[in-house]
Amino acid sequence: MFNMFRILPSKLFIFKQITFVIIFLFLGLAFLNNAGSRAYGFSYKNFVKTVNKYRQEGNPNANVTVILYSDYQCPWCRKFEEKDLPYIIKDYVKTGKILMEYRDFPLTLIHPYAFKAAEYADCAATQGKYLQIRSLLYRRQNNWSAVGDLYYFLKTYAKGTINLKKLESCVKSGLPERLIKSNMAAGTRLRVTGTPTLFIYRGLILYKKLVGYRPYSQINKILQNTVK
């Protein structure tokens, strides 16, 4: 009698085959990611260290730290960057009263080019130009947010300011994508639901969380009480 079960692979064999394929794909993706990093010349660890160095300004020994989560396509973030952040920088950062740190939180469902903008800004940190490119992206948000051609935008408005070839190589390495996703995951754990969102810490203790746009007059009162 013909026994079909004799020619079918066992369940164990199928399981082993599936496991092998999954491991192979995982190792392949890891290899490609590391290859991109090596080709660019930065390990992920060194990339994060470099970006974090330039994504902060102020007194690293200050007792008060302000962490800003923002989105480059967010109009309220742009308003905050143009109207209110300069006063925080002048009154608290430049005077050494606080340490200001910036984090990426692109709202990709409504802002399709915010993630890519964050990649270019973070990569600019490897050339010591993070704050300059960050400011440029917000000031001229209308010039790039409609079509999202960040390379052409920077070629037009940042020519001579930054090495675009190195910048593009960095973006393609996959390093900024990994860091931004890490920032987004951290923001999600902190229940960031919109941008801009400010976290004001006194030492290691969260003193205030501000969700959404707040004018400097309101933030100033909070910071005055925080730095006492």
Structural domain includes residue 4: no
pLDDT for the residue 18: 52
Please, which pLDDT band fits residue 29 given cuts at 50, 70 and 90?
A: very low
In this structure, are residues 184 and 115 in contact, taking their beta carbons and an 8 Å threshold? no
Structural domain includes residue 190: yes
Residues 25 and 104 in one domain: no
pLDDT for the residue 11: 52
- Mean pLDDT value across the chain: 87
Residues 109 and 218 in one domain: yes
Distance in angstroms (rounded) separating the CA atoms of residues 162 and 59: 26
What percentage of residues in the chain have a pLDDT greater than 70? 82
Structural domain includes residue 2: no
In this structure, are residues 227 and 97 in contact, taking their beta carbons and an 8 Å threshold? yes
Please, which pLDDT band fits residue 159 given cuts at 50, 70 and 90?
A: confident
How many independent structural domains does the chain possess? 2
Identity of the residue numbered 132: Q
Residues 130 and 148 in one domain: yes
Residues 163 and 80 in one domain: yes
Find the Cα–Cα–Cα–Cα dihedral 119, 141, 103, 112, rounded to 10°.
Answer: -60
Residues 117 and 22 in one domain: no
Residue range(s) defining the domain that contains residue 211 = 49-226
Domain at 73, CATH number = 3.40.30.10
- Residues 144-165, mean pLDDT to the nearest whole number: 93
Q: Indicate the burial class of 99 (C-beta count within 10 angstroms; 0-12, 13-18, 19 or more).
A: buried
- Residues 187-194, mean pLDDT to the nearest whole number: 96
- Indicate the range of 38-42, 70-74, 86-90 predicted with least confidence: 38-42
Judge whether residue 119 has pLDDT over 50.
Answer: yes
pLDDT for the residue 35: 45
Residues 21 and 107 in one domain: no
Structural domain includes residue 1: no
Structural domain includes residue 187: yes
- Residues 138-157, mean pLDDT to the nearest whole number: 94
Bond preceding residue 75 cis, omega within 30 of 0: no
